[in-house]
Chain A
Amino acid sequence: DAGVIQSPRHEVTEMGQEVTLRCKPISGHDYLFWYRQTMMRGLELLIYFNNNVPIDDSGMPEDRFSAKMPNASFSTLKIQPSEPRDSAVYFCASSLTGQGTSTDTQYFGPGTRLTVL
């Protein structure tokens, strides 16, 4: 398997623009996670899905952020409108089962480095 695939790898945009980040999880994995990494706050969970259904979005910082998973092989994280403080690396991860009930780990994609000017 190719692992978790994210696109784009780098995104530079201007404040106010819409940004869409994409993720393809590992085939057969039922869980998909979106994380954000900054120097100040480290890695933070934004939202996760189980079988394409959002389970916990309490980490989504504001209404400007939204995430969807229309099918088992694709998810998007959208920021509209973007702001400079959204600059970070956004990671997508997937796992076969829920983390709380198994020894299964999460597999991370390479991340999307977002810069909002």
Chain B
Amino acid sequence: KQEVTQIPAALSVPEGENLVLNCSFTDSAIYNLQWFRQDPGKGLTSLLLIQSSQREQTSGRLNASLDKSSGRSTLYIAASQPGDSATYLCAVVGGADGLTFGKGTHLIIQP
């Protein structure tokens, strides 16, 4: 059974810093990996989707990488802002169509 682990569980940094969130998964047979953002009391918003054949995806200040063979992904956030404060979830798609999620990294950006 696929397991997804996210480290750290929580992170607090001053505004302006660059930071990295980590995600690992146990079964490398995935179709794609996605990073989501969840704000308190709200649903999830997709940030980046990396197909299994890709190595990275970029959107604005966000860059996600994928190393399928080692079962790892990172989400890099450049020049963090208070508005980036949220929970970031990593999810993978394996043989079926549903997503398997990590428990998330709770990020706080201090003004």
A residues in contact (CB < 8 Å) with B: 4, 31, 33, 42-45, 48, 50, 55-56, 59, 91, 93, 98-101, 103, 105-111
Mind listing 24 A-B residue pairs with CB under 8 Å?
A4-B43, A33-B97, A42-B102, A42-B103, A42-B104, A43-B89, A43-B91, A43-B99, A44-B101, A45-B100, A48-B97, A48-B98, A55-B96, A56-B96, A56-B98, A91-B44, A93-B43, A100-B93, A103-B32, A105-B49, A106-B99, A108-B36, A108-B45, A109-B43
- Which of A4, A45, A109 is the one whose CB lies under 8 Å from B98? A45
Q: Which has the most chain A C-beta neighbours within 10 Å: B44, B46, B101?
A: B44
How far, in whole Å, are A49 and B12 apart by their CA atoms in the complex?
Answer: 39
Interface string of B32-49 (1 = CB under 8 A from A): 101010000111111001
Q: Which of B80-111 contact A (CB under 8 A)?
A: 89, 91, 93-104
How far, in whole Å, are A74 and B17 apart by their CA atoms in the complex?
Answer: 44
Q: Which has the most chain A C-beta neighbours within 10 Å: B34, B98, B103?
A: B98
Question: Quick check: A111 and B43 within 8 Å, CB to CB?
Answer: yes
Question: Quick check: B45 and A59 within 8 Å, CB to CB?
Answer: no
CB-CB under 8 A from A93, the residues of chain B are 43-44
CB-CB under 8 A from A106, the residues of chain B are 46, 99
Q: With A50-B97, A105-B34, A108-B43 given, can you name 9 additional A-B contacts, CB distance below 8 Å?
A: A33-B98, A33-B99, A43-B91, A43-B101, A45-B99, A99-B99, A100-B93, A103-B51, A108-B36
